[in-house]
Structure formats: C-alpha cells, structure tokens
Amino acid sequence: MSTISKACLDPWSFLLIKADGNVCLCCWSEPIGNVNSADLDAIVSGLKAQHLRSSLLTGELLRCCSQCPAREATTTEKLCADVEIYLNDTEKLYAVSQGKLILKPSSADPSPASSKPKPSKHWLKRILTSKLVRTLKKMLYR
C-alpha cells in the first residue's frame, strides 16, 4: 500500500554547499554535514542523508519535507519507481528538473522547441552582470 510523499528526487540528484561549508540535499533541508569537518563523500552517504532519503521513500516525511512548498504530493510507490529509474539510468536518458524525473529529448529527433536558437552564454552573462552591477550600485549609493 502506498502512502503520500513528495515528488522530489533532489536528495539523489542535488547537492548544496553553503558558504559556511554546510551541506544540504535540497534548498529546504537542514544541513547533513559540513565540508570543513568531514569528507563530502562521507557526508552524502552518511546517516543523515540516508535518513532524509528514507523518509521520502516511506512517506514518513521530515518537517523540512512536509513543509516544502516547492514539491507536490505523490505516492511513495511512484517516488520509489522514479528513484529506481534515475539511479539505474546508465544510458542517461533521464534528467531531474525541479525535483522531477523527465525524459531528455532525443538528439536524433529534435523537437521544434529544441530547434530554436539558444542565446549565447556571453549574452546571458552580460545581462546578469549588468543587473548585478545596478543592484550593487543602488546598495552602495543609498
């Protein structure tokens, strides 16, 4: 029998290392360790990480997961199936986007959306840089 969980693959696909060295498995979770005092591999495979992943798979959600506004509800059965697909995807056919498992578009069969020209990274960098500069100037010259 399935119970309710969150549609979230972040603890298997995402890692956040904060400026103070704290390591989180998503942007809502409590830190599971600190890279200043432990090896990253040990942190990611440690008991706190295992407990967080297990709580999602069993539906016995931790407070950070149950209160997370970023992920929708799903069944534990569906989440377990998605985790298994993601972890066993040797051909790299799937990706994780917004915590959900998605099928990557085939490069042999481009869809109309993928045929659109993408903006260059330099263009995006200029926009982000100019916005950052404007924001910093506002902060400095108040």
pLDDT of 138 higher than 80: no
Q: Answer yes or no: pTM beyond 0.75.
A: no
Percent of the chain with pLDDT over 70: 73
Locate all alpha helices (DSSP H) within 10-120, ordered by sequence. 10-13, 40-44, 47-58, 63-66, 76-87
More confident residue, 14 or 113: 14
Q: What pLDDT does residue 106 have?
A: 73
Contact predicate 90/70, CB 8 Å: no
Q: Which of 15, 81, 75, 89 is nearest to 46 (CA)?
A: 15
pLDDT digits over 76-126, tens only?
Answer: 999 999 999 999 998 889 989 888 889 988 755 555 554 445 544 454 545
Percent of the chain with pLDDT over 90: 61
